[in-house]
A and B are shown apart, each in its own frame.
Chain A
Amino acid sequence: MSRARGGSGRVVRLGPRSALVLAFASLAGLMMFVWPLLVRVEPQSMQHGPDAPFVFVAILPVLILIVLAELSEGGMDAKALALLGVLSAVNAALRPLGAGVAGIETVFFLLVLAGRVFGAGFGFVLGCTSLFASALLTAGVGPWLPFQMLSSAWIGMGAGLLPRRVTGKAEIAMLVGYGIVVAYLFGFLMNLWFWPFITGAEVDYHDGHISYVPGAPVLDNLRRFAVFTLLTSTAGWDTGRAITNTAAILVLGPAVLATLRRAARRASHGLLPTFGDAGPASARSARPRRGADAPTCARTGNGMARTVNDRTANARQHEVGQPIRGQRSNYQGDS
């Protein structure tokens, strides 16, 4: 278990505190997505129903700000950041290559694969930055943006939380399954928060059968919503997205995973440098990797930095600190 966690938290560290913040923010965020189903209004406090969506639209960006601040507070080194920026740009650049029906699908495919390789924390942040950068490039900033950002962040994070041990064909199958699920889930969530806005909720003179009724039983609203989403988007957009996800992961998945893993290996994320003594004699004797040690080092395995460090015999030589903490905190003593 600790091996798996170590591997997934490699690029953007996800400590217990970050995980806690992330969990609460996700809970609050989820509430803001599914509020139409949760609203229970007393007849006399009817005015709170209509206000809720606007309050939530204002609060959701704040939630995202806090989570992102927490994730980068734990320390994000230049490598992770450059990777983040460049992959966000790739997501934006690959959009025109999509099937042409709906723009967003290719973003998900790379998001899922990157989340899988670089871990949950990175997936979460990549989901946010990809959508944000893409919105800036297309001048598409609006109240929908925080919702898009948060749901794609969840998609990236979820991909990072999938079981690590699965490899090979099973891994691709798992990712394809995940891709299909998130394609529909994304459409569902995005429809849900916007549903009352588009069909009209708070207007008392109208009682359409697919529109939202504040305070109605959950199941009733859910059924109305299901019909709405089925009629408007499930057949077209969501299924299109699911098909693109499936096809892209099946065809490109293995190669892209290999490419990303190679990049992770080359960037040696999480591998801390080691130092020997200045004296030539001790340098020879403390030299850790020759012969039998070499294969161990070639493998960029989880917890490997620890292995190397432990083998660098003398503890007093570890000026750079213990391998598990983020880099930033290691140097605080010096700065």
Chain B
Amino acid sequence: MRATYFLPRDLHPAAWWLWALGLAVAASRTTNPWLLLTIIAVAGYVVAARRGAAPWALAFRMYLYLAGCIVCLRVFFRLVFGGAEGTTILLRLPEIPLPAWAAGIRLFGAVSAESLLGGLYDGLRLAAVVVCLGAANALANPKRLLKAMPPALYEMGTAVVVALSVFPQLAESVLRVRRARKLRGGANHRRLRALHAIVIPVLEDALDRSLRLAASMDSRGYGRAALVRPRQRVATGVLMVLGLIGVCVGGYATLDGSTPRLLAGPVLVLGVVVGLLGFHLAGRRVQRTRYRPDRWRPPEVVVVLSGVGVAVTLFATSTVDPTNLNPSLLTLSWPALSWPPLVGVLLGVLPAWLSPPPAPPHAGAGHDAEEVSA
């Protein structure tokens, strides 16, 4: 067991997602900039340590940019639309009143430090959540994730698998048709006309392909169904409909504070559970096995536990000391940081050492991967 623990392999994608969601939930509990920056650093460090060479791993940078944009946007909004709450006025911009239909709304005006800081903290929180999701996208192999689809979504999963494998071929076909367009003197046409000459052949190509693919799938046994008794089908339908009604009622009650609380949380949860039961039952009809499925092994458990651990500590400490997690903005002060939540957040960095490194890329696979991203 110990010998195989650190052998290079791709971790179960769901493990990375659960870890990242744990971090994201933790981030959504606090506005303390130190904690949020620690969470971002933890996510970034684990990604740097454990991502492969695949294209989705390279997307992490985009998420960092996105996070930066969110922070800037949030502060910018405070600057433009009323940032006057608080006493420490930093600068006064000329105020622009808007027409009557937007009564009550003004642009620019006085900007206070409290307001800007509030925007910064909020933005940072959202940015931390986005970075956590980026980490999951970078670490989890989306194709393996598709393989782990629940049986009830077998058809949908297959459709997406088909889309992913056909996509690069179509991208090629677009390039090819574009090039061929020149042979008919295509450059002279207006842009939209040229689009016509590209879209139609590509679409025809794709539709032809879909028919051939369907024939191939049909003759290779796609959609062999287990025997489903009518009673079971009825049960599936009833469970799904009841569950959805529960979600509707529960959701409405959650929003409308005047309805009894019993209708809100419990009914919502019950609806989801019943619906998922129907979902599970619907999966019974699919009778097929998986080739080399991803299994849950100790490293997966460790990764998930570390993510859950982060979320749990932040929930626990928030009841103890809320001021540390959400620094006060009523009086401007340097945000304080206490040890328990910080240690909790640092739990999240464990996968950087306690998970196996990713499998090395295979000859040819890397090349393919680059084209997909292009």
Any A CB within 8 A of the CB of B211: yes
Q: How far is the CA of A209 from the CA of B80 in the complex (A)?
A: 10
Q: How far is the CA of A133 from the CA of B133 in the complex (A)?
A: 17
Does B247 contact A88, Cβ atoms closer than 8 Å? no
Any A CB within 8 A of the CB of B93: no
Q: How far is the CA of A51 from the CA of B261 in the complex (A)?
A: 14
Which residues of chain B are near A81, meaning CB under 8 Å? 155, 158-159, 162, 214, 217, 222
Which residues of chain B are near A56, meaning CB under 8 Å? 251
Any B CB within 8 A of the CB of A282: no
Which residues of chain A are near B316, meaning CB under 8 Å? none
Which single residue of chain B is at the shortest CB-CB distance from A94? Answer: B199
A103-133 CB contacts (< 8 Å) to partner B: 125, 128-130, 132-133
Any B CB within 8 A of the CB of A319: no
Q: Which of these binds chain B: A17-25, A160-168, A169-177, A271-279?
A: A17-25
Also in contact, A21 and B240, with CB within 8 A (given A259-B203, A335-B225): yes
Which residues of chain A are near B146, meaning CB under 8 Å? 136
Does A133 contact B236, Cβ atoms closer than 8 Å? no
Which residues of chain B are near A136, meaning CB under 8 Å? 56, 142, 145-146, 160, 164
Any B CB within 8 A of the CB of A143: yes
Does B257 contact A45, Cβ atoms closer than 8 Å? yes
Which single residue of chain B is at the shortest CB-CB distance from A194? Answer: B126
- How many residues does chain A have at the interface if contact means C-beta atoms less than 8 Å apart? 96
Interface-centre pick from B77, B98, B264, B272 (highest chain A CB count, 10 A):
B77
Any B CB within 8 A of the CB of A227: yes
**Smallest CB separation, A249 vs chain B (Å):** 11
Partner of A259, one of B163, B204, B251: B204
Any B CB within 8 A of the CB of A28: yes
Does B214 contact A79, Cβ atoms closer than 8 Å? yes
Partner of B207, one of A41, A197, A259: A259
Which single residue of chain B is at the shortest CB-CB distance from A109? Answer: B199
Does B170 contact A332, Cβ atoms closer than 8 Å? no
Q: How far is the CA of A203 from the CA of B56 in the complex (A)?
A: 35
Does A139 contact B137, Cβ atoms closer than 8 Å? yes
Any A CB within 8 A of the CB of B161: yes
Q: How far is the CA of A335 from the CA of B243 in the complex (A)?
A: 31
Any A CB within 8 A of the CB of B7: no
Any A CB within 8 A of the CB of B228: yes
B50-83 CB contacts (< 8 Å) to partner A: 55-56, 59, 62, 70, 73-74, 77-78, 81-83
Does B255 contact A52, Cβ atoms closer than 8 Å? yes
Does B160 contact A72, Cβ atoms closer than 8 Å? no
Does A79 contact B59, Cβ atoms closer than 8 Å? no
When each residue 69-106 of chain B gets 1 if its CB lies under 8 Å from chain A and 0 otherwise, what string results? 01001100110011101100000000000100010111
Which residues of chain A are near B193, meaning CB under 8 Å? 251
Q: How far is the CA of A86 from the CA of B283 in the complex (A)?
A: 24
Which residues of chain B are near A88, meaning CB under 8 Å? 159-160, 162-163
Does B163 contact A129, Cβ atoms closer than 8 Å? yes
Also in contact, A89 and B217, with CB within 8 A (given A66-B244, A332-B228, A335-B225): no
Partner of B170, one of A39, A78, A93: A93
**Smallest CB separation, A184 vs chain B (Å):** 18
Interface of B is mostly: helix
Does A141 contact B133, Cβ atoms closer than 8 Å? yes
Does A72 contact B210, Cβ atoms closer than 8 Å? no
Does B167 contact A97, Cβ atoms closer than 8 Å? no
A40-72 CB contacts (< 8 Å) to partner B: 40-42, 45, 48, 51-52, 54-56, 59, 62-63, 65-66, 68-70, 72
Does A199 contact B77, Cβ atoms closer than 8 Å? yes
Which residues of chain A are near B38, meaning CB under 8 Å? none
When each residue 28-65 of chain B gets 1 if its CB lies under 8 Å from chain A and 0 otherwise, what string results? 10000000000000000000000000011001001000
**Smallest CB separation, B139 vs chain A (Å):** 10
Which single residue of chain A is at the shortest CB-CB distance from B126? Answer: A197
When each residue 250-268 of chain A gets 1 if its CB lies under 8 Å from chain B and 0 otherwise, what string results? 0110011001100100110
**Smallest CB separation, B134 vs chain A (Å):** 8
Which residues of chain B are near A55, meaning CB under 8 Å? 254, 268
Does B285 contact A73, Cβ atoms closer than 8 Å? yes
Which residues of chain A are near B210, meaning CB under 8 Å? 79, 82-83, 85-87, 263, 267
B100-155 CB contacts (< 8 Å) to partner A: 102, 104-106, 114-115, 118-119, 122, 126, 130, 133-134, 136-138, 142, 145-146, 150, 152-155
Which residues of chain A are near B106, meaning CB under 8 Å? 209
Any B CB within 8 A of the CB of A310: no
Also in contact, A68 and B156, with CB within 8 A (given A210-B105, A227-B102, A259-B203): yes
Does A21 contact B244, Cβ atoms closer than 8 Å? yes
Q: How far is the CA of A54 from the CA of B278 in the complex (A)?
A: 24
Chain B interfacial positions (CB closer than 8 Å to A): 28, 55-56, 59, 62, 70, 73-74, 77-78, 81-83, 85-86, 98, 102, 104-106, 114-115, 118-119, 122, 126, 130, 133-134, 136-138, 142, 145-146, 150, 152-156, 158-164, 166-167, 170-171, 173-174, 192-193, 195-196, 198-200, 202-204, 206-207, 209-211, 213-215, 217-218, 222-228, 233, 236-237, 240-241, 243-245, 247-248, 251-252, 254-258, 261, 264, 268, 272, 275-276, 278-279, 282-283, 285, 329-330, 372
Chain A interfacial positions (CB closer than 8 Å to B): 17, 20-21, 24-25, 27-28, 31-32, 35, 38-42, 45, 48, 51-52, 54-56, 59, 62-63, 65-66, 68-70, 72-73, 76-79, 81-90, 92-94, 96-97, 125, 128-130, 132-133, 136-143, 197-200, 203, 205-211, 215, 223-224, 227, 247-248, 251-252, 255-256, 259-260, 263, 266-267, 328, 331-332, 335
Seed contacts A38-B252, A72-B153; 6 additional CB < 8 Å A-B pairs: A17-B237, A45-B257, A63-B247, A66-B279, A72-B154, A125-B159
